[in-house]
Chain A
Amino acid sequence: MKKTKQIVRKTKQIVKDCHRYHRLFMASNDAVMTLEPPSWKFSSGNPAALKMFKMKTEAEFVACELWKLSPRRQPDGRFSSEKAKKMIAIAMDKGSNSFEWVHKRKNGDEFFADVLLSKVKEGRFFFLHAIVRDIDEHKKMELALMESEVKFRNIFNELQEGVLIVDAKSKKFYMGNKAICKMLGYSLEEIKKLCVKDIHPKKELCHVLPKFEKQVKGELVVAKELPVKRKDGSIFYADVKVSVIKIAGKSYAVGFFNDITQRRELEKIRDDIRNAKEKIILEAIGDGVVAFDESGKIILFNKVASGISGFSSEEVVGKHYSEFLSFMKESTNEPAQDFIAQAILKGKPTVMANHVVIVRKDGERVPVADSVSPFFDKVGKVFGCVLVFRDVTREREIDRVKTEFVSFASHQLRTPLSAINWYTEMLLSGDIGVVNSCQRDYLENIYHSNRRMVDLINSLLNVSRLEFGVFAIEPRKIDVIKLANDIIDENDQRISDRRLVVVRKFEKNILKLPFDKNLLSIIFQNLLVNAIKYTPEKGIIKFSISLVGKKDIRIEISDSGCGISKDQQSKVFSKFFRGDNVVKKNTEGTGLGLYIAKMIVEHAGGKIWFKSPVSRMKLKRNPGTAFYVEFPLSGMKKREGTKSIG
């Protein structure tokens, strides 16, 4: 009886346990299954397991081995079948085995799972109890995170810029990338022990730290050209850009260090190359080139300048030009005007006067021609100037030879002409004996021809000076009208000889204007003489001076003479040109008068032109000619030169 009760109690207990267990089995959210040797197929699987593997019935489930519900290989590359057997073996050996596994659902989906295998004794047999938890989502996130972390770590470390992350409050370094380690010469571990103060030279801390503070506050983004101290004590310069971020609630400053040493060096190399190029170009220029800064110190001195002046570039660069460059007036040996200072002062290019010499290092004087041009910075302020000059010894020499020849030739030619003049004059005066009218006639012809020769030589001399460009224009305030009157009066004989009438029409109240009296006389004289020459007897010449607008003064000399035919008009101002329709009997004239007048007018900044026929006088036989000369009220342009014209 007792035994039966015991047995019944035990049995009831077993049934209760069984039920409980069964309930657990069925209700568990985790997949629970059992595996039996020797094949280690699944022997049971709870609803959660079926769900996990997307099976419909337990029967389906039970037919499979562990590795059938897995992909061929596991993530570590091992074959699932082989690895599973190993895992099982470990569980059997140790009693349990917990590991990660990749399973495959019936539909082919693979998923990560945590597997716990436990050895269970049943009578004399052992079987494995497995709990499988789907950690796929979790795992995938983990992998993604790892991948992301690797990616960012790579980026962080591959950055060329050095990146240092520093705790904004404590100023201790939290993190650094490969580049900053390389820049500073510390390992990452060493860096993590340092703070901001440690990486800048002590004497610069007073500059650097305030900047850092500003950057942390967001007031300053980039600190330029900061001195940074390496582990070995050497210093390099960097631009540091700072961004402030929060990590887990704490503020950090992320500093991007851009080592500008290399950039600086690159720039220097680029500059050097550019300078080398410029140097080559400069050395190739055939003129002397000297550049000065605004205080007159020489900053550039090219090879030709050295050659001409005798000073080397090394001797003069950095020093004031007055120590070396000495310009003198050729004729007086007085110092020439300081045109370099003038150019800097006035900000205008200056051309050196003619006939300036430079005094070489050895004292020799070399004639030079040059100009100075200032140069300006972006705001238009003068910050230096450039002098360009060349040795004109040869040109000067050629010039000198030319002028000497012309002077010599004219002098030599004039001498016999003077003799002929005077002897003829003496004969004509009757002092040497009575001269009959025929003889008189012949003698007069000799005299006139001779005079023409003299005029020609005088004109040639003037022309040579005009063409060599050596004549000076020296304007002084003169009464232009008085001059005109004087010239007309001087020609009184010629005028009355031909019984011409000269009408003077001079505007009143013209003030004295700056003209070179000598040159203006020549212009008036030449035009007037032409008018007289080309007007037949009893004709009219009009000489008028008037103002045009408020800007110019115009001189008009017109005649009632034979005019200039259309086909000849283009040649009127050319050398030695004489009109075909010259009034008979008048063979005087050099053909140079208008050429000279034009040269003078144009060099002096004026205009000269003519009209023929003159519209007002429409006489067929005598259409007349009107010549006009116009100058601005500022008069003639001053011009330096060695010779005047007379």
Chain B
Amino acid sequence: MDKSPKKILVAVIEVVEDDASLLKVLVDKLKREGFEVLEAQDGKKGLDIALRERPDLILLDIVMPVMDGWTMLRKLREENPWGKNVPVIVLTNLTSDDDVQLANIVKLEPSYFLVKSDWKIEDLVTKVRERLEDKKEQE
């Protein structure tokens, strides 16, 4: 039987976060967990990279210079079918429950909206894995 070697599919996670120190620890942790990681420090770069590289999941901060997270996500969703469906976990320190955030959550459909300071990094990784599992099942 001629089987082509099974490619071990490594999930690619894009982390869009403007704070350097948070970005570093997130990237570090994810790499240690075996993911391939793409980085961006503002929404515009994040959008470009996402459209170009098509990661399996995006961790997205909201408050960022140049282009904020919601704008990036909106553009992403509007861009193409891939953009519409790519799983995004919003990772922010804003609280979810004000009208503006809620409206965006409803419209742009991130998979989760997580407040950084309330989540252990370990649990974040769990959430990422969960979401990727879901995605696999859907495909």
Contact = CB atoms under 8 A, between A and B. Distances in A.
A455 B29 CA distance: 24
A417 to B, nearest CB: 5
A376 interface: no
A429 B32 CA distance: 12
B22 A415 contact: yes
Given A419-B25, A425-B121, A426-B121, A407 B99 contact: no
A461 B96 CA distance: 12
Interface stretch (B1-9, B81-89, B112-120, B127-135): B112-120
B58 interface: no
B122 interface: yes
B126 interface: no
Given A410-B95, A423-B25, A418 B122 contact: no
A461 to B, nearest CB: 7
Contact of B120 (A425, A461, A646): A425
B25 A422 contact: yes
A243 interface: no
Nearest to A355: B99
Interface string A412-434: 00110111011101100101000
> Which DSSP category, helix, strand, loop or mixed, fits chain A's interface?
helix
Given A419-B22, A419-B25, A422-B26, A331 B116 contact: no
B37 interface: no
Interface string B63-98: 100000000000000000000000000000111111
B28 interface: yes
Contact of B29 (A411, A426, A457): A426
Interface in B12-27: 19, 21-22, 25-26
B97 A418 contact: no
A426 B32 CA distance: 11
Chain A contact-residue range equals 20 to 34
A426 B25 contact: yes
Interface string A379-417: 000000000000000000000000000010011001101
Given A422-B121, A643-B98, A410 B32 contact: no
Given A426-B25, A431-B32, A421 B117 contact: yes
Contact of B117 (A331, A407, A418, A423): A418
Chain B contact-residue range equals 20 to 34
A414 B114 CA distance: 13
Contacts of B99: 331, 642-643
A646 B95 contact: yes
Nearest to A447: B120
A132 interface: no
Contact of B93 (A418, A431, A645): A418
Contacts of A458: 117-118
Interface string A318-344: 000000000000010000000000000
Contact of A461 (B28, B29, B95, B122): B95
Contacts of B95: 407, 410, 461, 646
Contacts of B28: 426
A454 interface: yes
Contacts of B25: 419, 422-423, 426
Contacts of B116: 414-415, 418
B23 to A, nearest CB: 10
* Most B C-beta atoms less than 10 A away, residue of A410, A419, A431, A642: A419
A331 B98 CA distance: 12
B98 A454 contact: no
B83 to A, nearest CB: 27
A44 interface: no
B128 to A, nearest CB: 14
Contact of A411 (B21, B93, B121): B93
A643 B96 CA distance: 10
Interface string A460-502: 0100000000000000000000000000000000000000000
A157 interface: no
Interface of B: 19, 21-22, 25-26, 28-29, 32, 63, 93-99, 115-118, 120-122
15 contacts: A407-B98, A415-B22, A415-B93, A415-B116, A418-B93, A419-B21, A421-B120, A423-B21, A425-B121, A426-B28, A431-B29, A454-B117, A457-B117, A642-B99, A646-B95
Given A418-B117, A461-B95, A642-B98, 6 more contacts: A407-B98, A417-B117, A418-B22, A643-B98, A644-B97, A646-B95
3 closest Cβ pairs, A-B complex: A414-B93, A418-B116, A644-B97
